[in-house]
Amino acid sequence: MPKAWMGKFLFVDLGSGSSWTQEVPDWMRSKLMGGKAFGAKLLTDLTPAGCDPFAPENPLMIMTGPLTGTSAPSMRGCVVTKSPLTGTFLDSYFGGYFSPEVKYAGYDGIIILGQAQEPVYLWIDDDRVEVRPAAHLWGQDALEANAAVKSELNDETVKILSIGPAGENRVLYSLISCEYNRQAGRGGAGAVMGSKHLKAIAVRGTNTVTIHDPEAFRAAVIQANADLEKSEDVQAMRDGGTAPAVDFANETGLLPSRNFQDGSFEKASNLSDIGQSKHLWLNSAACLGCPIRCSKMGAVRTGKYAGFITDIVEYESAALMGSNLGISDVRAVAHLVKLCDRFGMDSMSTGGVIGFAMEAGERGLLESPDGISLEFGNVQAAEYLIRSIAFVDNDLGKLLAQGVKRAAAALGGDASAFAQHVKGLESPAWGPRGAAGTGLAFMTADRGGCHQRGLPAPLEVTGGEWEGKPVQALAVEGKADMLIQMQNYLAGTDALVKCDFGGFGVQPETYAALLSAATGERHTADEFDRLGERIWNLTRNFNLREGLNPADDTLPKRFMQDPLPSGPNKGHRFSAQDMAFMLKDYYSLRGWDQAGRPTEETLKKVGVQDLPKFEKSS
């Protein structure tokens, strides 16, 4: 057994209360490495085709990578399941300390199946695994439940994943909270956890992750830290987290404003790093062993919301809960995001849903509830909607808890024209009009509209270089090739479960050196691209098997029908011809047929065809 992996998965069946371990097969380690790749293969093999995401058979999996729990910088954790929001593959990442603890408890991943009859929590203390009653925790918010489990276990150092009322109520974009300020946010993993009546997972481990060649590993860690220090992107992240992106997106016309009606917002600077630092930040914080320290823990210091502890309002939340709702007071935005965190809802999707509801209200498609006016800029309305959605205790909450795609279908009329989603996942905070490759990225992302599967936008709107040539923002030629390279590398390194921000600095050669020294096996810089290509074919196959229609490889109608009203991209929208050109190019370069299906030849070439099926033993 090579070092660095723990060599086994922990399976828990909540239906029977039983648990067992299974060896990680050699072929999985050598062909798939860990993280996203393990999750994609296990989801395919363990889930019956067409499985309801809320069925007991849909596994909820927490995956680690071979470098998790070592001193390699900037590693995170990964949740994989079938998304109830999109019906597709879902991988969602979280920082903090939980994922290393899974390794210290002796596991490369935890795979939870079945459905408990009553609320439970899972207590994993090295080899000891207990399914404990949690009726007394049901109804608590995600942070209260975290504290309550720690108190019950009489150990403040136990690491916890928990859900809030939204997950219990199966709000389709519920998140899983990791400790107090990290979340696996996108796609509804919290609702899957809620469907299993699983309130929390607590883990404590006393093992160590062994390293094959400690000297070589130490040298590789020094190199990784040097890579991070050299990167301007990483330095910016250290200074201001992701919040400086508010100004960047605003200046380049990418910022969502009032449900993506515009690409700039008149008070964007209030939401940026400088705007936030005036009212919120106190100090930096980090996930285990990360030298970037992108978190800016603090407290709201002034105004109506003064007094509560908050993390940085990171870019996606600042944009989607701020400018996208026409709200410019960053203290109010921090308050709304904190409500989402406590109730356990993805603040990105929630911002998208509320933006949709506010526009529907202004168009007269939704009536104002309880005398609250559904209009942009109304913080009270946003808070009302968050509570209604989390507790699904009124008709509007029930409607919006399903996400914008389903809500628009239920409303009818022209509601789908301003429902901002791809494949059901609410759009990330980057309006792609004026950045052609970014549109293609959203069209093709394997979990629906997503900015973390390759984001050409910064290169496109700044005229940056790709392979020695300047990138033209509106050009469609060459975008598929550029995007595929980005997608493959990111997916390949997601098998490591690295943090994307660390990936801004750490070079592929350094990741390979870390892996080689840790495992004792030879790894090379170019294998992440090959592994990524394998992963993209695995997830595509899974999505097609689950009913994905390639016609869903598209963009929200607004990006095709409504020209941007202002900013450097003023007047631009996506044409059907441009989208068809890029998609055809994309399918062809991926080795997929004209309907977007991987061919037999491609599956063989990338090594998907020959992978054995993973069989669970109980």
Considering the complex, state which of residue 64 and residue 88 has its C-beta at the smaller distance from ligand SF4: 64
Considering the complex, state which of residue 75 and residue 360 has its C-beta at the smaller distance from ligand SF4: 75
List the one residue from 252, 270, 295, 510 that touches ligand SF4 (CB under 6 A): 295
List the one residue from 79, 290, 496, 548 that touches ligand SF4 (CB under 6 A): 290
The encoded tokens of residue 73 equal: 């910088």
Per the rule left: phi > 0, alpha: psi between -120 and 50, beta: everything else, 566 is beta
Stretch that binds ligand SF4, among 161-169, 292-300, 343-351, 528-536 (CB under 6 A): 292-300
Stretch that binds ligand SF4, among 185-193, 195-203, 287-295, 398-406 (CB under 6 A): 287-295
Interface with ligand SF4 includes 497 (CB under 6 A)?
no
Binding to ligand SF4 in span 75-104, by CB under 6 A: 76, 95
What does R_g of the chain's alpha carbons equal in angstroms? 23
Residue with tokens 């009489």: 154
Residue count at the site for ligand SF4 (CB under 6 A)? 13
List the one residue from 294, 385, 390, 538 that touches ligand SF4 (CB under 6 A): 294
Helices and strands in the chain, H and E counts: 25, 19
Alpha-carbon span 339 to 322, nearest angstrom: 14
The CB-of-242 to ligand SF4 minimum distance in angstroms stands at 9
List the one residue from 72, 198, 221, 292 that touches ligand SF4 (CB under 6 A): 292
List Cβ neighbours of 510 (8 Å cut-off, separation of 6 or more).
220, 223, 224, 227
List Cβ neighbours of 583 (8 Å cut-off, separation of 6 or more).
440, 443, 444, 480, 553, 596
User: Burial level of 265, CB count in 10 A (0-12/13-18/19+)?
Assistant: buried
Bridge partners, 281 (sequence order) = 298
First-to-final CA distance of the chain: 23
The CB-of-582 to ligand SF4 minimum distance in angstroms stands at 31
DSSP, residue by residue, 546-573: TT--GGGSS--HHHHHS---SSTTTT--
Interface with ligand SF4 includes 539 (CB under 6 A)?
no
Query: In the chain, what's the furthest Cα-to-Cα distance?
Result: 67
Considering the complex, state which of residue 29 and residue 103 has its C-beta at the smaller distance from ligand SF4: 103
Interface with ligand SF4 includes 69 (CB under 6 A)?
no
Interface with ligand SF4 includes 458 (CB under 6 A)?
no
Residue 32 vs residues 213, 519, 578: alpha-carbon distances, Å: 22, 14, 35
At residue 372, φ and ψ (nearest 5 deg) are: -95, 125
Stretch that binds ligand SF4, among 43-51, 147-155, 288-296, 510-518 (CB under 6 A): 288-296
At residue 253, φ and ψ (nearest 5 deg) are: 75, 20
The CB-of-140 to ligand SF4 minimum distance in angstroms stands at 26
Considering the complex, state which of residue 74 and residue 195 has its C-beta at the smaller distance from ligand SF4: 74
Interface with ligand SF4 includes 312 (CB under 6 A)?
no
List the one residue from 74, 140, 493, 554 that touches ligand SF4 (CB under 6 A): 74
List the one residue from 204, 293, 406, 530 that touches ligand SF4 (CB under 6 A): 293
The CB-of-502 to ligand SF4 minimum distance in angstroms stands at 6
The CB-of-95 to ligand SF4 minimum distance in angstroms stands at 4
Interface with ligand SF4 includes 499 (CB under 6 A)?
yes
Interface with ligand SF4 includes 287 (CB under 6 A)?
yes
CA dihedral for 504, 505, 507, 512, sign (positive or negative): negative
CA dihedral for 32, 38, 40, 42, sign (positive or negative): positive
List the one residue from 1, 147, 153, 286 that touches ligand SF4 (CB under 6 A): 286
The CB-of-422 to ligand SF4 minimum distance in angstroms stands at 24
Alpha-carbon span 318 to 245, nearest angstrom: 10
Footprint on this chain of ligand SF4 (rule: CB under 6 A): 74, 76, 95, 286-287, 290, 292-295, 499, 501-502
